[in-house]
Structure 1
């Protein structure tokens, strides 16, 4: 079954719907089992969504927030997804939620895989709500096209939920090529998934990705495997 694509006339309307979507998924999980796991992407798009969520009336003390991926930079760096989550989401009412960092003191992300796999596994069995993005090169998480470690990230040999990626030579990664990322099974087993896209270019990229090999545009792996559990939100 296919994913759902919902189009909105304005970004504000898309963001308002997305905030209700995420909050509803977390509320349902808390009602079912007393806690909820929210795994989120970074980048420029989620900030306004985090602002909306941070003030929502939820039992945030029952929510664990983790990252879909992270650049191997200091956690207080402006380039770190953790910085965005701390500054835009984990404030106000949402300040009561717990954060599971992805960056460690290890020099190389490969050295942190075992530690972060142990930390993230309990929150990925499965993830209650995951927020995904998509780059103009067709990547999601840190699944960059043809990057070193991509195969093991999409299909980890022992079902790991965390993998290291070396995106050297991948234009979409920018200067921060060393990453940790959630793996294919962690992402695609999520109970509810939201992908937030803005602008005509992103819609065109998505259409190309759905007709491409996942090695060339890895977002397709997530879209295909999540199927109807994925809601894609788009606005101009």
Structure 2
């Protein structure tokens, strides 16, 4: 595990956006398209603000969230809403978006439909993750109903989780899909999350889901 430290969060966002753009460009040099899976939330927003201006053939980049709350894409808590407003703008407006939500009462009703769109994108070209102080990543929450299936090495592409600590049902890329990305980056801010990451190193994925995706992941940290 490689930890890159930055003097502040602004520098982290600028540098990491440049790194992600370079990796996407490199992948596109050898492939027709590239897939970019990104976490939502306040952690990644500033990175999106810089990445969206990168000079890339964005029409060949396919963007998808690592996970999604089962809410309409107009909901303020929707990851799709954040990604569309802060990443799929400027030059990146030409990218193709692959949603993890479609109108349906329950995510289980449309999993095959959603997985069929994602399957051709695997393995993911570039992955950008965040982590909570509880050591969850994407929507893989410790103790959540559905976590054991999501961590299984034979898990399907998508998993449905119903964390008791969260108000909505979640849909998430399974651990094997996240861990299988060709390039993986994790962003954490502050001493508490860094301490949580260090604790996760000695815990099983059932207790610290981030553990399932740390192999060969570059950690980006700023206070």
TM-score, structure 2 length as denominator?
0.97
1:162 maps to which residue?
158
2:139 maps to which residue?
142
**CA offsets per residue over residues 161-191 of structure 1, 9 Å max, x none?**
1111111x2x3xx322x01100112101100
**CA offsets per residue over residues 67-90 of structure 1, 9 Å max, x none?**
100000111111000000000000
Paired with 1:49 and 1:181, the residues of 2 have a C-alpha distance of 21
Deviation at 1:112, TM superposition (A): 2.1
Equivalent residue of 2:110, what SS?
helix
Paired with 2:117 and 2:94, the residues of 1 have a C-alpha distance of 19
Contact 1:142 1:165 (C-alpha < 8 Å) held by counterparts: yes
Equivalent residue of 1:66, what SS?
strand
Report how many residues are paired: 223
1:107 maps to which residue?
105
Deviation at 1:43, TM superposition (A): 1.0
Ranges of 4+ aligned residues in structure 1 off by more than 3 Å? none
Alignment of 1:40-119 (within 5 A): 40-119=38-117
How large is the RMSD of aligned CA atoms in angstroms? 1.1
Paired with 1:52 and 1:33, the residues of 2 have a C-alpha distance of 24
2:178 maps to which residue?
187
Deviation at 1:34, TM superposition (A): 2.1
Paired with 2:65 and 2:23, the residues of 1 have a C-alpha distance of 17
Question: Which segment drifts farther, 209-218 or 82-91?
Answer: 209-218
Alignment of 1:11-30 (within 5 A): 11-30=9-28
* Unaligned residue ranges in structure 1 (runs of 5+): none
Contact 2:184 2:218 (C-alpha < 8 Å) held by counterparts: yes
Deviation at 1:36, TM superposition (A): 0.7
